[in-house]
């Protein structure tokens, strides 16, 4: 079955420490991969997108993600967390079904940043 | 330019009533998507419009749900005879027809509460 899995439903870090949000996908095709962020009572904002041009993708707000085909992973990282990073993060895959651009969302990871 | 807009931002209705939710995509975007975000189901695809092609309705949960897109721009999602399980945030997204067709930009959503 084709799917996207976010391995942690909740992650808690201290401000100034690194962030790692994990995502794995399963697909027979070569999907496009995204990370979106959703702050409380806000819409989804695109953080970054994997386009196959480079395996390390840099996004907004200091986030980046590395595509590892051998591990079918697309983990999101940030060297130093800020209080404003507290939000829910979604790993998203496009084209999992091999046709069209329908997005398949992971279940989300709630990031908490503590002082 | 302006992003995706949705109205109303909040809608409270009584069980059995019909509701209409509106989405105004980014100007010039040919593709429009509806998703639903609920506590129990996460983020789910509902329906997809691409230009003048027949819409992909494969995600609509029942025949009480329908959507149309007039003039290739504004879209309306209609839910008839609403049920309490329809309570959710309904998100609209649009994407362009250029080189970045699979990047979707989301509106702020409509929070629907069915009493």
Instruction: Say whether pLDDT at B34 is over 80.
Output: yes
Residue of A nearest to B40 (CA): A107
Say yes or no: B26 contacts chain A, CB-CB below 8 A: no
Which three-class secondary structure state does DSSP give residue B98? coil
Contact B33 A102 (CB under 8 A): yes
Work out the burial of residue B109: count CB atoms within 10 Å of its CB; fewer than 13 is exposed, 13-18 middle, 19 or more buried.
Answer: buried
Chain B residues touching residue A107 (CB < 8 angstroms): 42
Instruction: Say whether pLDDT at A63 is over 80.
Output: yes
Check whether the bond before B8 is cis (ω within 30° of 0). yes
Say yes or no: A32 contacts chain B, CB-CB below 8 A: yes
Say yes or no: B103 contacts chain A, CB-CB below 8 A: yes
Q: How confident is the model at residue B1 (pLDDT cuts 50, 70, 90)?
A: low
Instruction: Say whether pLDDT at A98 is over 80.
Output: no
Query: Is B37 in contact with A106 (CB distance < 8 Å)?
Result: no
Chain B residues touching residue A88 (CB < 8 angstroms): none
Closest CB to A101: pick one of B95, B106, B109: B95
Mean pLDDT of B67-74: 89
């Amino acid at each position: 079955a084709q799917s996207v899995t976010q391995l942690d439903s909740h992650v808690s870090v201290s401000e100034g420490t690194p962030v790692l949000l994990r995502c794995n996908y399963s697909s027979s095709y070569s999907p496009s991969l995204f990370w979106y962020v959703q702050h409380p009572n806000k819409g989804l904002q695109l953080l970054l997108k994997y386009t196959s041009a480079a395996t390390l993708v840099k996004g907004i707000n200091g986030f980046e993600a590395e595509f590892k085909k051998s591990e079918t992973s697309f983990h999101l990282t940030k060297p130093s967390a800020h209080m404003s990073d507290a939000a829910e993060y979604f790993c998203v895959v496009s084209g999992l079904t091999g046709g069209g651009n329908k997005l398949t969302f992971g279940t989300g990871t709630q990031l908490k940043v503590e002082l | 330019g302006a992003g995706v807009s949705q109205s109303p931002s909040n809608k409270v209705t009584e069980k059995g009533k019909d509701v209409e939710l509106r989405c105004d995509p980014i100007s010039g975007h040919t593709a429009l998507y509806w998703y639903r975000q609920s506590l129990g189901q996460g983020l789910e695809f509902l329906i997809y419009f691409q230009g003048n092609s027949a819409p992909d309705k494969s995600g609509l949960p029942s025949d009480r749900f329908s959507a149309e897109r007039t003039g290739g721009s504004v879209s309306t999602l209609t839910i008839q005879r609403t049920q309490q399980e329809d309570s959710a945030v309904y998100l609209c997204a649009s994407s362009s027809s250029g080189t970045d067709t699979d990047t979707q930009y989301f509106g702020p959503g409509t929070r629907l509460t069915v009493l």
